[in-house]
Chains A and B, each alone.
Chain A
C-alpha cells in the first residue's frame, strides 16, 4: 500500500508524506507527554516538528529542481464506491511545494516566537497549564494546512480546509473564558467557525457538482476534462467556480464573508500571525490558483473573483484607517491584501498572486509578531494594572527608543507592505498593478487607491505606536523583549527586505518555477506604473506625517485628527461601515427569533409535550402489563390456557 504502486522520478519525493506526519507526530507526542516535559520540551517538540516539515519541503524543492514535473505520492487508498476511487495522495509539484515552504518556513519562525510569547501569555492569564495545549493545536494546524496544500484531489483538500478551520476555531477561542463578559473570545471563535462554514458549504456544493459532472475529484482528471465539459454544459463549470468562490470568500475573508477575521484577533498573537495572516487565510488564493484550469473555462466567474478581490481590497483598507486596536488595523490590512491576491488570481495573474502571497506571508507575519512584541512589552511593564487594553494604540507612543528591535523590524514590515522599493512588497504589488492595468483601468484605479490607503494606515500606525511621547505608564516603562522574540522578527525582516528577489523583473525565478504547475503569462515591468505607485506611497506617508507625525497626540483620550476633518465619514470608518450590525439585522436576529420560536413554542410545548404524553402512556401500559403478574401459578396457567384457546379459536374461526 505505501507508495508501492507509484513510480517516482526522484526518490526524494517519497519523503512527501512526512510534511503531514511530522507535525502530526508533534501533536501526538505533546498530547501524550507534553505536560510532563514542561514548557521547554513541549515547545522544542513543536518547533522541531515544524522545522522538520520545512526541511522535508526544502528537500522536495531540490528534488523538483531536477525533475520539475513532480510526482503524485500515494499514501492510502481511502475508499472506492462504484466508479469513484479516492486516494490519500499528495501532489508534489512546484505550486504545492511553494505553499509547503511558506507554511512550514514562516510557521517554524512563528513557532519559535510562540515558545516565548506563550510563556508570558499563559502567565498573564494565570493558566500555565495551557502551554502544551497551545502547541498541540499549533502543530495540528500545520498538519491540516499541509493536507490542504498537498492534496491531489478536492476531497482531501476539503479535509485540510476543514481541519485548518477547526484549528482556527480552537485557537481563536484559546482563552475561551476571556473577552467581553467572559464570552467575547468564545463568541469570536464561534463567529469565525460559523462564517467559515457558510463558505465551506459553498466549496462542498462545488465538490458535489464536480463529482456529478466529472465523476472524479482528482485535480488532473477534473482539469483535463474541463474543456470538454464546458463545451457540452457551460453552466456546470460556472456553477462550480462560483460556489468555489463562496468558499474562498469565507476562508480568505473577502466580501461578503470577511467579518470573522477582525474578531479572530481574539486569539493569541502568534495565532493571528500564522493562521490569520500568513497561511490559512491564503488558502482561498491557493484554491483559485490551483483551480486555474476551471476558472479559465468560466471567464465570468474569474471576473467575479477579480471584482470581489478588488472591492474587498479597497473596502477593508478604508476600515483600517479608523481603527485603534493595533491588531485590528493589521487584520483589516490582511483582508485588504488578500483582496489584492484574490484580484490577481481572478485576472489570471496567478504568479503575481502567489508572489504576493509569499511576500505578504513574510511581512504580515512580521508585523503581527512585532505587534505581539509591543503588546507583550506593555503587559509586562503594566505593574500598576492600570492598562485597560494593551492593544489600544492610543495608550502607546514613544516606543521607538524603548523597543528598538521591535521598532526597526516593524518599520521594515510596514514599508514592505506599503511597497517601498526595493522591499519585497514593492515587487509583488507592482506585478499585480501591472496586470490590473492591462486588464481594466477601473480595477487598476481601485487597487491604486487601496495601495494609497495601505501606506496611509501603516504610516499612521507607526506614528501612533512608536513616535511621540508615551501616553501611559506601561508605555513609559516598556522594555525590549528577549531574543526568542526578537530573533524571529529579525529573520522575518530579512525575508521582507529580500523577498522580492524571488521574482525580480527580468529574472522571474518564481515564474519559471511555477510554470511547471500553472499556465503562466509572462509578467512585464512597466516603469510608469512603478513610479506612480511610489508616488502614491510618498503622498500617503506625507499625509500621515502631516496628520499624526508632525504634531503627535499628547494624551490617550484625544480625538483622532481625521475625525474633525472627515466628520461622519470617519465615524463610519470607525464603526467599520456597520457591516456587522447589518448582518446581525439581516441574518442573525431573524435566525435567532426563528430558533427561539422553534425551541420555546414548537419544541418545548409541542414536541416535548408529545414525548411526555407518550412516556406517560407507556408507563401506564407497563403498570397494567405487570399487574397481571400476581405470583400465583394458577393464574399463570390460566393465562397460558387463554393463549392456547385464543390460537385455536383463531384457527377455527378464520
Chain B
C-alpha cells in the first residue's frame, strides 16, 4: 500500500474504522441510552469532516495504481456526504426512540454508507466504483428494513434490494464490456484508449450505456425510477431523507466523474440519451407528484424531478467550453437540494406519529397557526424546491438553466422551466394546507429535528443573498481531467 493511497483515503478509512468500533462499543450501551451511540456516530462524522477539510489544500492527485483520486470535486462532495450523514443522525435519534427501534446498528450502518459515498467520490477505477456502490447500497437495504415488524418497511427493503441487485448487474455488465473494448478499467486509461487504440465502438457504447443505466437507477432517473416512491414511502423517514439527499448526490458524483473524465470523446453518442433521460425525468417526476396524497410519496417524486434537473447539468458534459459551468452548477445544485431536502425531511419526520400516521397532506392543516416556525421553515423548503427567489433553490435552477443554455440545449431549459412551473402546484399545496386550512396537527417534541429544520431554512435563505460565494466555491472545486 503506497502512501498516496493512504493520504487520499484517510478520512474514508477513519470513518470505516470508527463505524466498526461503534458496532462493538454499542454492545455495551444499554437500549435506553442509545443517544450515546448517536453522539459517538456524530463525533465520528465530525472527525472525518475535520480530516476532509484539513485536506482542502492538497493538490489534486491519484495514487500510483490509479485506483483513487483526490481533487476539489471529491473533497467538496465528501463535505456534502458527511454533513448529510450528520443530518441523518440528527433526524434519526428521536425517531428511532419513538418508533421503538432504537438499535445501535442504525448509526454504524449509516456511517458505512457514508464511507461508501466518499469512496465513490474518490474512486478512479470502474472496479472500485462498483465496490463503492455496493458499500453504499447494502447498508441502505438494511436501513430501509430496520423498522422490521412494519410490513411497509420490509417491503421497501426487499424491493430496494431486488431492484438494486438488478441494476448492479447492469453496472457490472457495462464495466465488463468497457474492459472488453478498451482493456482498461481506470478512467484515465479508458479516456486514453478511446483516443489512441483501436476500440470496438459497438461494444464500447453498449458498455457505456449499461453503466449509465445502472447509475441512472441509483439517481432514480426515469424510466429507472419505479422503485423510488415505494422504497421512499416504506423506509423509516430519516432513512428516506438521507437516501433522497446523499445517495442521489453520490450517484451524481460518480456519474459526473465518469462522464467528464472517461467519456468526453463519446459525447455525440451519450448526450442525446442524457437529454432524453433528463427531459423524461423532469416531466414524469413533476407530473406524478401532483396527484400524491402522502407527503412522503410526493417528496419521493419531487426527488425524481430534481434528479431530472441535475441530469440537465450533465447533458453538455462533453463540451469543454462549458465544462467548468457543468461542474459548478451540478455541485451548487447538489448543495441547494441537500439543504432544502434535509430540512424538508426533518419537518416530515417531526410530524410523523409513532404508528406511521401524520404523513398525509391533510395532516399539515393548521401547522401555520400551531407551529409557526416549523411551518415557516417548511415554507422556505417548498419555495426553494420550486425555485422561487430569495431561496437557494432559485439560484440552483438559475445556474442549471444557464449551463444548459450555454451548452446549446435551450429546449431542455424550457422544459425545466415549464416543469418547475408545474411543480409549484404541489409544493404550494403544502403551504395551502399549512396556512389556509384549519386543523390541529400534532408535532413530536424533537429538538434536534427543529434545530435541523431551522438551520437548514436559515442557510437556504441566507446563502441565497450571497450565491456567488457558494458558486465560486463549487466552481473552484475542480474535477481533475485526464
Q: Which residues of A contact B (CB under 8 A)?
A: 615, 618-619, 621-623, 625-626, 628-629, 631, 633, 635-637, 639-640, 642-644, 646-648, 650-651
Closest approach, in angstroms, between the C-beta of B230 and any C-beta of chain A? 6
Question: Is B422 within 8 A of A618, CB to CB?
Answer: yes
Question: Looking across the interface, which residue of chain A has its beta carbon closest to that of B210?
Answer: A644
Chain A residues within 8 Å of B292, by CB:
626
- Chain B 153-190 near chain A by CB (<8 Å), digits 1 or 0: 00000110011001100100000000000000000000
Contact of A636 among B163, B269, B291 (CB under 8 A): B163
Query: Taking A640-B166, A640-B226, A648-B206 as contacts, is the C-beta distance between A622 and B290 under 8 angstroms?
Result: yes
One of B158, B209, B210, B226 near A629 (C-beta < 8 A): B226
Name the residue in B167, B269, B290 with the highest tally of chain A Cβ atoms < 10 Å from its Cβ.
Answer: B290
Cβ–Cβ < 8 Å partners of A646 in chain B: 223
Tell me which of A615, A636, A644, A648 contacts B226 (CB under 8 A): A636
Instruction: Kindly report which residue of chain B lies nearest to residue A646, judged by CB atoms.
Output: B223
> B398-441: contact bitstring with A at CB < 8 Å (1 yes, 0 no)?
00000000000000000000000010010000000000000000
Given contacts A640-B223, A647-B213, contact A629 B163 (CB under 8 A): no
Q: Contact at A650–B272, with CB atoms within 8 Å?
A: yes
Verify if B284 is at the interface (C-beta below 8 Å from A). yes
A-B contact pairs, 16 of them (CB 8 A): A615-B425, A621-B287, A622-B288, A625-B288, A626-B288, A631-B230, A636-B159, A636-B226, A640-B163, A640-B223, A643-B213, A644-B210, A644-B213, A647-B213, A648-B206, A651-B205
How many A-B contacts at CB < 8 Å in the complex? 67
Whether B229 and A640, one on each chain, are in contact in the complex, defined by CB atoms closer than 8 angstroms, is no
Q: Which 7 A-B pairs have the closest CB atoms?
A: A636-B226, A643-B223, A622-B290, A625-B288, A622-B291, A622-B287, A626-B288
Q: Which residues of A contact B291 (CB under 8 A)?
A: 619, 622-623, 626
- CB contacts (< 8 Å) of A622 on chain B: these are 287-291
Q: Which residues of A contact B226 (CB under 8 A)?
A: 628-629, 635-636, 639-640
Q: How far is the CB of A178 from chain B (nearest CB, A)?
A: 31
Most B Cβ at <10 Å: residue of A628, A639, A640: A640
User: A629-B226, A643-B224 are contacts. A637–B163 as well, Cβ < 8 Å?
Assistant: yes
Q: Is the CB of B229 within 8 A of A625?
A: no
Tell me if B273 counts as interface (CB < 8 A to partner A): yes
Binding site for A on B (CB under 8 A): 158-159, 162-163, 166-167, 170, 205-206, 209-210, 213, 217, 222-224, 226-227, 229-230, 269, 272-273, 284, 287-292, 422, 425
Residues of chain B within 8 A of A619, CB atoms compared: 290-291
- Known contacts A626-B291, A643-B222, A643-B224; 5 additional CB pairs below 8 A are A625-B284, A633-B158, A636-B163, A636-B226, A639-B226
Give Cα A320 to B174, complex, Å.
92
Tell me which of A618, A622, A623, A631 has the highest count of chain B C-beta atoms within 10 A of its own C-beta: A622
Nearest-Cβ distance from residue B156 to partner chain A, whole angstroms: 11
Q: Closest CB of chain B to A518's CB: distance in Å?
A: 44
- B425: which A residues are within 8 A, CB to CB? 615, 618
With A629-B229, A633-B163, A644-B213 as given contacts, are A639 and B288 in contact (CB-CB < 8 Å)?
no
Residue picked from A623, A635, A637, A651, most chain B C-beta under 10 Å: A651
Q: List, in ascending order, chain A residues with CB within 8 A of B269's CB.
A: 651
A640 touches B287 (CB 8 A): no
Q: Across the interface, which residues of B come within 8 angstroms of A629, CB to CB?
A: 226, 229-230, 288
Q: What is the chain B residue whose CB lies nearest that of A654?
A: B272
Are A647 and B209 in touch, CB under 8 angstroms? yes
B residues near A633, Cβ cutoff 8 Å: 158-159, 162-163
A615 to B227, CA, bound (A): 27
> How close is A277's CB to chain B, nearest CB, in angstroms?
42
**Given the interface contacts A633-B159, A651-B269, does A625 sit within 8 Å of B224 by beta carbon?**
no
Task: Return the chain B residue nearest A648 by Cβ.
Answer: B209
From residue A466, how far is it (CB to closest CB) to chain B in Å? Answer: 58
A583: min CB distance to chain B, Å: 39
Whole-angstrom distance between the alpha carbons of A646 and B163 in the complex? 19
Q: How far is the CA of A618 from the CA of B288 in the complex (A)?
A: 9
Q: Which residues of A contact B158 (CB under 8 A)?
A: 633
A434 to chain B, nearest CB (A): 59
Q: How far is the CA of A625 from the CA of B283 in the complex (A)?
A: 10
- The CA of A391 and the CA of B305, in the complex, are separated in Å by 66
Cβ distance A372 to chain B, nearest Cβ, rounded Å: 43
Chain B residues in 8 Å Cβ range of A650? 272-273
Cα separation A643 to B230 with both chains bound (whole Å): 19
For residue B301, give the distance in angstroms from its CB to the closest CB of chain A: 8
Contacts of B170 in A (CB 8 A): 644
Please measure, in the bound complex, the distance between the C-alpha atom of A635 and the C-alpha atom of B223, giving whole angstroms: 12
For B213, list chain A residues within 8 Å (CB): 643-644, 647
Report the bound CA distance from A633 to B273 in whole Å.
25
**Bound Cα distance from A209 to B284, whole angstroms:** 50
Q: A641 to nearest B CB, angstroms?
A: 9
Complex partner residue of A637 from B166, B206, B229, CB under 8 angstroms: B166
The winner among B210, B213, B288 for most chain A CB atoms within 10 A is B288
* Nearest CB in chain B to that of A644: its residue: B213
Hey, which chain A residues are within 8 Å of B223, CB to CB?
639-640, 642-643, 646
For the complex, what is the distance from the CA of A647 to the CA of B276, rounded to whole Å?
Answer: 9
**Given the complex of chains A and B, what is the CA–CA distance between A7 and B159 in angstroms?**
76
B219 to chain A, nearest CB (A): 14
| Option from B217, B284, B288 in Cβ contact (under 8 Å) with A640 | B217
| Docked complex Cα distance between A648 and B222 (Å) | 16
For the complex formed, measure the closest distance between the CB of A643 and the CB atoms of chain B, giving whole angstroms: 4
CA distance A609 to B290 in the complex (A): 20
Task: Tell me which residues across on chain B come within 8 A of A643, comparing CB atoms.
Answer: 213, 222-224
Whose C-beta in chain A lies nearest to the C-beta of B269? A651
Tell me the nearest residue of chain B to A652, going by C-beta: B202
CB neighbours of A635 from chain B (8 A): 226
CA separation between A619 and B290, bound complex, in Å? 7
Q: CA separation between A647 and B166, bound complex, in Å? A: 17
Which residues of chain A are near B230, meaning CB under 8 Å?
Answer: 629, 631
A106 to chain B, nearest CB (A): 42
**Chain B residues with CB under 8 A of A618:** 287, 290, 422, 425
Set of chain B residues within 8 Å of A637, measured between Cβ atoms? 163, 166
> What residue of chain A has the Cβ atom nearest to residue B426's Cβ?
A622
| A618 vs B170: C-alpha distance when bound (angstroms) | 34
**Smallest beta-carbon distance B161→chain A, Å:** 10
Q: Which residues of B contact A642 (CB under 8 A)?
A: 223
In Å, the complex CA distance between A253 and B460 comes to 48
B391 to chain A, nearest CB (A): 23
CA distance A651 to B167 in the complex (A): 20
Q: Nearest CB to that of A621 among chain B residues?
A: B287
Alpha-carbon gap, A637 to B164, bound state (A)? 11
Instruction: Compute how far the CA of A637 lies from the CA of B224 in the bound complex, rounded to whole angstroms.
Output: 8
| Docked pose: A192 CA to B216 CA in angstroms | 61
